[in-house]
Amino acid sequence: MNDLQGDNDNQVVFKDLLDNAADIVTVIDAQGIILYQSTAITTYLGFLPKDVIGKSIFAFLHPDDLYYTIKAFAGLMTGEDTDRIVTRLRNNQDH
């Protein structure tokens, strides 16, 4: 039981760190569905975390970056060695 409590404590600390980070931190699953969204998204893009969790990350990409990002993401999912993916995101005003 103590081990489980320690894991829960670690999760709380980790979530607090992410929620207070200046950077936008997004956790997605293998299909691109947003599982976690830090609160910094509100500052930079105007969305509330609850507005994006459960939605596809691809719905928030700049249209000019969509093809490249989907291709790079698919490569990641098949084990391709991808260092990073740089893409632009739309804000809540669709810009």
Determine if the pTM surpasses 0.85. no
Q: What share of the chain is helix, strand, coil (3-state, %, to 5)?
A: 50, 10, 40
Q: Which residue has the tokens 């993916």?
A: 85
> What does the pLDDT read at residue 13?
85
Tens of pLDDT along the chain (95 residues) come to 444 455 777 888 878 888 888 899 999 999 999 999 999 999 999 999 999 999 999 999 999 999 999 999 999 889 888 777 889 999 999 87
Dist. CA 69–CA 26, nearest whole Å: 15
Give all strands (DSSP E) within the chain, no chain letters: 26-28, 34-37
